[in-house]
Each structure stands twice: as structure tokens, then as C-alpha cells.
Amino acid sequence: MLKYLTEKSPSEIDVLIIGGGLVGGCLAAALADTPLRVGVVDHAVPKIAPSNAFDGRAFAVSLSNKKLLQAVGLWGTLNETSAPIRDIRVSDGSSMFFLHFDHKVVGEEPMGFMVENIYLRQAIYALLEKKKNIRKFSPNFVRHLQRDRSGAVVRLSDGQEIRAQLVVGADGRESQIRKECGIGLTSWNYNQTAIVCTVQHGRGHSYIAQERFLPSGPFAILPLHGEPKEAANRSSIVWTERNEIAPSLRVLSEKDFLAELAVRFQTFLGELKVVSPVYFYPLKLQFARCVIDRRTVLIGDASHSMHPIAGQGLNMGLRDVAALAEVLVDAYRLGMDIGDTAVLQRYNKWRRFENTMMIATTDVLNRLFSNNIGPLRVARDAGLAIVNSISPLKRHIIRHAMGLTGNVPKLLEGKPL
């Protein structure tokens, strides 16, 4: 029998989500209209984290994950601030060979959408404020986690204690919950840094995403929303650079930084201007050696963190959300203990293989393309040309990027739980 940490009676919660960011917040939204009692513990101060201060980061959201956001009530405001990804063009440096993906190959809907971080955070905070069965514990963090077969008790930094049937670690790469559970990591550094910013350019991008493979790593130009829509001229940049070069770029003047950026961006969209802060993120691959433990499950970056070469980090986290929400609601309706190992094993089997394959794929792609080795460059160019000429293969790749393949949870099809 679980003993309380102190004599005071703890709050009773079915699902306690540790981490109220994009993935944890979306899980809370997915469970908001279910019978489950949900709590969210977050270190950020409410109404300050999603403030109107400009945030230059943006994420590619697949079509299936757009359906998830729509199904849980988050897409309404995002519809006006997101940008569709209609085409994707992949090239290898200055090679004449390229790979072009057109969304019309599989239908009229875009392959995905570029969603700016600030707007998604605002949508999450606004939705959770309205939901009566979502309890928010913030600003706060976990001081102690105690679990046994009957439940879990979490002590927070402000002294509150919460009893839960299940604790969800959605607290990022440095997950405290993962550490509390003693779950180990497999990880390695890429010796690369992602440089992220937003630029404005002289001509419209036509909602075409560009991915250029350079010797130091991929350079992505991702279309953002603008007015008027058909002349949108803002893009999110994800520029991968070697670690030994990145520090020198960080200290450049605005003029010199723009000059370095322009060399890689080239001139096809006209004159450039950086219109956001510039972020530098050291790149590292890591994945938890297991994602479930007694009364505990890991999702998002707490479970897996991959190279941004394919823009799949947030997408994999949202697919975790869709699968876990469905597993928990199904178990509750059957009268099962939602924190039982048998329930959590269903989630583990559903997500483990796909996450592992995506981590491996992004790792191999980065190693294959982030170099200037002659024989490999010739093989890459031939591969791009061959894939570009095989329509059925391109169609499959597009459907996979849209999140329409595999064992798809209900929310990814836009269906209610």
C-alpha cells in the first residue's frame, strides 16, 4: 500500500502530466473532454509563457497532426496563422539533381503546415484555461515521486501533494521524471548546431519548403504565413552548422551574419532580412531505453529526441499524444486501471517501433548527406534523380510525410476518442 509523503491529504488525479509545453499541453487538450481527471505540472508562469513577445521558432506539422489539433480544439486560431506546405524541394548542394514532392500527387490537401511556436502555445494555454477537468499546478516542479502498485504520489515544489493513477513525463530532453524512474538513455552528439531564425525576403515563397544538403548539414527554408497569403514572404530557417563554426557565427554583427546566411540561402527569393531572434541549439540524438515504468510513461522529447533533418521531432511527439490518449480512454471505458503495466504496454508496442525507425532514418540521412565525400556525393545525386523519376515511390514518401501510413490513432484521422 502506498504511503503518503506527509500527513496531509493529496489531491486526487487520474492522469498527472509533468510538463505543460507543446506535447504535454496537447495531451491535456486531448483528454480534456473525457471522463479522466487531468493535472498539468509546469514550471512556466501561466499567461507569461505564451505572451505576445515574438518567438522566431516554428514547427512543421504533418497533415495527420493537423487533424489531431483540429479534433482536440486547438486548430481554430491556428488556421489563420499557419502556412500550408504545398511542395517540398530537396537538393544536394549545387548539384543539378533534385527531388520534388508535389502535394497534388495524393490529393488537394497540403502535406503539412508550418505553425509558429508562439501561436501554438497561446492556443494550448487558452484551451486549458476553459476546461473544468484540467487542474493546473504552475509555476511548479516535482520534488519527489513515489509509486507502487496502487498509485503514485507526487510532491511539488510548493508543498502540494498529488495522488495519481498515472504520471506522464512530458518534461523534455532533460526529463526529471525519466531520471526519477532511473531510465537510462542511449545518446550521441552530432557535432552540429542548429541555427534557427525567421527571415523576410523580397519575393513570395509560394508555400514551397526547400531542403538543401550542404557539407556541414542540412539547410531548410520553410514557408511561414503572411498577408496577402499568395505573396507571403517570410520563412523559417533551420541552418545546421558544425560545432567548431557555430560559435564564430554567434558573435557576428547583424550585417555579417546576414551575409553568411545569404551565401547559403542564395538569391532566388530576393533580398533577405532577419526579423527574429537567432537561436543556437546543439544537436544530439537520444532515446530512452524504455518508455514505461511503474505508473509512469514518457512521451515526446522525454522519450526520444532526433535530428531535425526531416522536421519530425514535434510530429513524433504528437503521434505519441494521439496513441496514449486513445489507450488511456479505451482502458478507462473498459474499467481497467489506466496505470497498469498491461495498459501501458499497449502504448509501448504502438509507438516504440515507429519512433525507433524515425530516429534511425534521420540519423542515417544526416550522416549520408552532411559531408563532401566525392563517391557519396555521386551516389546521393543518382539516388535523388532515381527517386524523383519513380512516381509510386514518391507517392508513398509523401503519404508517409503526411502521417497517413501505418497504424493510425483515431485523433490523427480527425475522429473523436
pLDDT tens by residue, 146-190: 999 899 999 999 999 999 999 999 999 999 999 999 999 999 999
Given a cut of 70, is residue 46 above it in pLDDT? no
pTM confidence score: 0.93
- Calculate mean pLDDT across residues 47-59: 63
Separation of alpha carbons 79 and 342, rounded Å: 38
The answer to the question of residue 36 being in a domain is: yes
The answer to the question of residue 275 being in a domain is: no
| CATH number of the domain that residue 94 is part of | 3.50.50.60
- Calculate mean pLDDT across residues 279-298: 96
Q: Poorest-confidence range of 26-35, 229-238, 326-335?
A: 229-238
The answer to the question of residue 295 being in a domain is: yes
Helices (H), 251-373: 254-265, 313-333, 341-369
Given a cut of 70, is residue 52 above it in pLDDT? no
The angle, 0 to 180 degrees and rounded to 10, between the axes of the packed helices 63-71 and 313-333 is: 40
- For 208, residues 6+ apart whose C-beta sits below 8 A from its C-beta are 86, 87, 88, 89, 223
- Tens digit of pLDDT for each residue in 64-115? 999 999 999 999 989 999 999 999 999 988 788 889 999 998 889 999 999 9
- Calculate mean pLDDT across residues 337-365: 95
Given a cut of 50, is residue 34 above it in pLDDT? yes
- Calculate mean pLDDT across residues 121-138: 92
The answer to the question of residue 289 being in a domain is: yes
Q: Provide the pLDDT confidence category of residue 11 given band limits of 50, 70 and 90.
A: confident
> What is the predicted pLDDT for the residue at 1?
47
The angle, 0 to 180 degrees and rounded to 10, between the axes of the packed helices 22-31 and 313-333 is: 30
> What is the predicted pLDDT for the residue at 7?
44
Strand segments (E) across 117-184: 134-137, 142-148, 151-156, 161-169
The answer to the question of residue 240 being in a domain is: no
> What is the predicted pLDDT for the residue at 10?
64
Residue 74 is part of which domain span? 11-187+284-407
Kindly state the percentage of the chain with pLDDT values over 90.
77
The answer to the question of residue 234 being in a domain is: no
Q: Provide the pLDDT confidence category of residue 235 given band limits of 50, 70 and 90.
A: very high
- Indicate the number of domains in the chain: 1
If you average pLDDT over every residue of the chain, what do you get?
Answer: 92
- Calculate mean pLDDT across residues 313-340: 97
The answer to the question of residue 417 being in a domain is: no
Structure letter (DSSP) for residue 80 = T
Separation of alpha carbons 230 and 225, rounded Å: 10
The answer to the question of residue 216 being in a domain is: no
- Calculate mean pLDDT across residues 329-350: 97
